[in-house]
Structure 1
Amino acid sequence: MGGLKPPSAEEPVQSGRRRRQRRRRLQPARRGARQRDPAAVLAPRSVPRSLPGVVEGRGAEPPRPEGANPAFSHHPIPLVLEVLERVGLEKEDIDVLSVRPVVKSFSGMVSDSVSSSLAMSLMVSLPVFLALSLVMAAPVPWACCAVLAAATAVVYAQRHSPQEAPHVQYERLGSDVTLPCGTANWDAAVTWRVNGTDLAPDLLNGSQLVLHGLELGHSGLYACFHRDSWHLRHQVLLHVGLPPREPVLSCRSNTYPKGFYCSWHLPTPTYIPNTFNVTVLHGSKIMVCEKDPALKNRCHIRYMHLFSTIKYKVSISVSNALGHNATAITFDEFTIVKPDPPENVVARPVPSNPRRLEVTWQTPSTWPDPESFPLKFFLRYRPLILDQWQHVELSDGTAHTITDAYAGKEYIIQVAAKDNEIGTWSDWSVAAHATPWTEEPRHLTTEAQAPDHDQHHQLTGTPTHHEDL
């Protein structure tokens, strides 16, 4: 063992016995430090300004007894509470920290809410440990750190542990409602909030919240808390609305002979979500109604058999959390044919004709086969100064000349379309405006040309005198 060097006299080896003897000599001083007056422990202390969450202005640090160890007193809980308050926890959080939950947490007998968020709670405890060391200006015993970790876990779990989803409740506009505070007793001391705002105590009947004459503004998230600990007891997401009235349903074929569509709406709003269900029958056969990609209250049905004498029946039902309603219509294929209005209606004056206007338009682009299923048109026009329309029906063509216009008056012109054989007229097209041709006014001379000087004297007989140059 040439590599080992025996201990010298200057470097004595302390045996286990000597170390124990040294610890026994130091015990009285340590016990004296633990028996400090709790009032001295709880005295205000100055802390660094950089410590986050610390409330300033609590006073200067009092002098410590000479030789006193700045460790925890025999009962460390009051000092733990002070440190928690100094690092910024709210007063109601600190009130929750009693000896009983701390002891339970320290022994591992914690509630499920603490266990589910223990990892996050311990992360929150780390800055508290640092704050405690800074306040005490000395290392913190590990046993006290464990107590502090458990205490912080209790508070954090009660405030930040995942809560159950709020109970969703729908109530009718104008009605009265009573919201219970979960399973709390009727006489439990609770506080209610809506969307984070405290509600007046006179709205409470025991622990229950009573709302009269519900309005739309009553909708919101209601929460019930224990008055002392601010522990969340119950949440209700309240929606105020109305049951649906009978829906308005209509069907139309603007793409004949390809198919038709049906659309629906409610006559009055319900203020809450509604669910619609549409059923289309051709005789006894169920037809597919494809949803419109752009309009949510519309679906499309393709014709399976043209010129069928079997009627179609379309039924729609609507329901929400407060009620249900339904309606249905029955029709023949040809009765719902209605083209879209003609497009690109243009009116122009006719040169040198002060009473004529030339009108042109195009067949609606949604009409799939104007050759096989031709359209006829209906034109109406009037001067802006009059309210009475004049009408012209055209069996074919996409142009017409108005021959009885008032000269110099602006006209408004619209066109409608209809299948030659079946269906109804379309809505009127976008209006076109035009004014008949008018002749440009001729410029008349208003100043009489005066005769020259010689003509004037010739007419009057007065001699003319010429000056010599």
Structure 2
Amino acid sequence: MAGPLLPAALLLAAAAAAAPRRPCGPAGLSQDTVLGRPGANVTLTCGAEGPLNGTVAWRMEKRAPAGGRWLAGGHALLLQRLRYEDAGLYSCHAGGRTLRTLRLLVEEPPETPHVSCYRRSHDKDVLCEWRLRAKPSPGTRAMLWVKRRFTVENATEQRCRFFSKAQKFVCRVKVPPSVDDNKPLVVSTCVRNAAGGSAGEDKIITLSSILKPDPPLNVTVEALEKAPQRLRVTWTYPSSWDPRFYWLRFQVRYRPEPTPTFTEVDQVTRTWLDIHDAWRGTRHVVQVRAQEEFGHGAWSEWSHEAVGTPWTDPRDITEMGPYSSQLPTEDGAYGYGATLPPELFGDDAADGAGGAVLEASTHSVAYPYPFLVAGGSLLLGIALFIAIVVRYKQTWRLGVRRGAKPAGEGQHALVPLGPPSPSSPLSATPLLPPATPPAPGPLHVTNLDYFFSGK
């Protein structure tokens, strides 16, 4: 029994999917309603039973308290170049009685909707919207239907609301908790008024594919002390996203204000980022956007711009006039030097030579410390060298004077030692005989290094 039923179910689902679209025609008009388009001409007639002479008078009724006014008489009333303000009730009168009342509608067919749907988080309703090129007529109505694909269930109908400031229709669709985020849904739209109707193309969506978070909030840019090329960017989750259950990943882009090109940093999972290549002394523009942590759906819009300037050493800032220069640093970045007044350069400040003098002067004023250290080290080295030379000179002279000994000094006769006599104690026996004065003779120099030993 299950065999024949399965193809029948498939055929039923296919037939439901291929069923004709929901009708989207113009709203029905009553017999006493006349339709006119903006800018066109329209003629209102009092009716066949009315008199044909000029005793007929027309009156237009407005909703405002003082809106009623009488118009030119005649069996037919010609209205040229209609405007939306011309819509209202028109009545013709003769002999003190009302002969006929007509309702004039001034409308044009609505624009074809091109709908897009998004969901701000996993636990929010689906919002579908489309923008219009021009403001619709007051009688325009928009509807939206949502149903699961390949099913025969009835579609959920939602009324759409027009927001004049944003110039768009917005429809809110409540999502049942049992709906799978990966199951396809069919979205249909219809916009109509008395002048006609227009249906948009059916749109196939899934709840996971239409995720689009709101932009991050409270984006701030702070300078880090003693870090002239770093900035810290912080932000918070949007209020429509609950980070206790689902997370977001972020993308940060930044640029120095003189440049129009942004540098982007992807795959940021925290709510802060340190920029390490900021320009010294330059204000930077930073923006952040968010996406679902696993990449489902679309990126949010970029946040509002936040600005910040890296830390600058107060000793490098001198406000003395309108002239300034930006000099390259050791790591290839550019930093701002001191600002010098134009009167220091005289008349040469306007030509190229003046610019060269300005750069050299700025560098010397802004960075005097390396020159002071180098000069001090050089002077200390010279003084140390002179002190060493003088010290060695004095030592050498003292060694020469001590090295001139009398002849024979230091020469002792070698006397063989014999065993001590048993009668005398060991301590009374001298180890060496008393030295005898040497006979005069020539000076014997046995060690020339003694004169240069410095002792």
TM-score normalised by structure 2 residue count = 0.54
Amino acid in structure 1 at the alignment position of 2:236: Q
Query: In structure 1, how many angstroms separate the alpha carbons of the residues matched to 2:161 and 2:141?
Result: 17
Residue 262 of structure 2 is matched in structure 1 by 389
Q: Which amino acid aligns with 2:113?
A: P
One-letter identity of the residue aligned with 1:360: T
CA RMSD of aligned residues (A): 3.2
Measured against aligned partners, the alpha-carbon deviations of 1:51-101 in whole angstroms (never above 9, x if no partner) come to xxxxxxxxxxxxxxxxxxxxxxxxxxxxxxxxxxxxxxxxxxxxxxxxxxx
**CA gap 1:290/1:345 in 2 versus in 1, 3 angstroms:** farther
Kept after mapping to 2: 8 A contact 1:244/1:266 = no
Once residues 105 and 81 of structure 2 are traced to their aligned partners in structure 1, the CA distance between those partners, rounded to angstroms, is: 14
Q: Are 1:423 and 2:301 counterparts? A: no
- Residues 292 and 435 of structure 1, relative CA distance in 2, 3 Å threshold: farther
1:367 corresponding residue in structure 2: 241
Query: Residues 319, 411 of structure 1: CA spacing in aligned structure 2 closer, same or farther, 3 A cutoff?
Result: same
The 1:334/1:211 distance shift into structure 2, 3 A limit, reads same
- Equivalent residue number for residue 301 of structure 1: 174
Q: Which ranges of structure 1 fall in alignment gaps of 5 or more residues? A: 1-165, 446-469
Gap change, CA 1:308 and 1:223, over 3 Å in 2 = closer
1:333 maps to 2:207: yes
Q: How far is the alpha carbon of 1:173 from its aligned partner?
A: 2.0
Does the CA contact (< 8 Å) of 2:162 and 2:170 recur in 1? no
Residue 343 of structure 1 corresponds to 217
Distance in 1, Cα, partners of 2:188 & 2:85? 34
For 1:30-49, what aligned pairs fall within 5 Å after superposition?
none
Give distance in 2, aligned partners of 1:323 and 1:294: 18
Contact 1:290–1:301 (Cα < 8 Å) also in 2: no
Give the Cα separation in 1 of the matches to 2:314 and 2:181: 61
Question: Would the alpha carbon gap of residues 242 and 294 (structure 1) be closer, same or farther in structure 2, given more than 3 Å must change?
Answer: closer
Change in CA separation of 1:170 and 1:389 when aligned onto 2, cut-off 3 Å = same
Q: What is the deviation of 1:307?
A: 5.0
- SS where residue 173 of structure 1 aligns? coil
Residues 360-417 of structure 1 show CA distances to partners (whole Å, capped at 9, x for unaligned) of: 011222123x354321100011122221111111341110011111122221111011
CA offset digits 1:418-454 (Å, max 9, x no partner): 1122111111012111111222247799xxxxxxxxx
Cα gap change, 1:306 to 1:379, in 2 (>3 Å): farther
Larger RCO (alpha carbons 8 Å, 6+ apart): 2
TM-aligned CA distance change 1:444 to 1:178, over 3 Å = closer
Structure 2 match to 1:209: 77
Q: How does 1:187-206 map to 2 (within 5 A)?
A: 187=53, 189-194=55-60, 196-200=68-72, 204=74
Once residues 399 and 323 of structure 1 are traced to their aligned partners in structure 2, the CA distance between those partners, rounded to angstroms, is 53
Return the offset for 1:315.
Answer: 0.7
Count of matched residue positions in the alignment of Structure 1 and Structure 2: 274
SS at structure 2 position matched to 1:251: strand
CA distance in 1, matches of 2:59, 2:227: 78
Gaps in structure 2 of 5+ consecutive residues:
1-30, 61-66, 164-168, 321-455
2:135 paired with 1:269: yes
Distance in 2 (CA, whole Å) between partners of 1:395 and 1:433 is 19
Instruction: Name the structure 2 match of 1:84.
Output: none
Residue identity opposite 2:93 in structure 1: F
**Any idea what SS the aligned residue of 2:139 has?**
coil
**What secondary structure, in the 3-state scheme, does the structure 1 residue paired with 2:209 have?**
helix
Larger Rg: 2
- 1:467 corresponds in structure 2 to none
| 2:264 partner amino acid | H
Structure 2 residue aligned with 1:178? 43
Q: CA deviation at 1:216?
A: 3.2
Identity of aligned residues (%): 30
CA contact 1:291–1:300 (8 Å) conserved in 2: no
> Residues 281-300 of structure 1 correspond to what in structure 2 (within 5 A)?
281-283=147-149, 284=151, 285-286=153-154, 288=156, 297-300=170-173
- In structure 2, which of residues 269, 272, 276 is the aligned counterpart of residue 403 of structure 1? 276
Per-residue CA deviation, residues 239-266 of structure 1 (Å, 9 max, x unaligned), is: 3121112123121121225552223454
For 1:210-244, what per-residue CA distance to the aligned partner results, in whole angstroms no more than 9, with x for missing partners?
A: 22443334334433222xx4444333342312111
Structure 1 residue 275: Cα displacement: 2.0
| Shift in Å, 1:309 | 4.3
Give, in whole Å, the separation in 2 of the partners of 1:282 and 1:319.
Answer: 24
- Cα distance, 1:176 vs structure 2: 2.9
Kept in 2, the 8 Å contact 1:375–1:420? The answer is: yes
Q: Matches of 1:380 and 1:286 in 2, distance apart?
A: 46
C-alpha change, 1:309 and 1:394, in structure 2 (3 Å) is closer
Report deviation, 1:357. 1.1
Cα 1:433–1:286 change in 2 (3 A) is: farther
Q: 1:353: which partner in 2? A: 227
TM-aligned CA distance change 1:214 to 1:259, over 3 Å? closer
**How far apart are the structure 1 equivalents of 2:195 and 2:159?**
26
On the 8 A contact 1:175/1:213 being kept in 2, the answer is yes
1:234 corresponds in structure 2 to 100
For the 8 Å contact 2:248–2:293, the answer to whether it is kept is yes
Query: Amino acid of the residue matched to residue 128 of structure 2?
Result: C
TM-score normalised by length of structure 1: 0.52
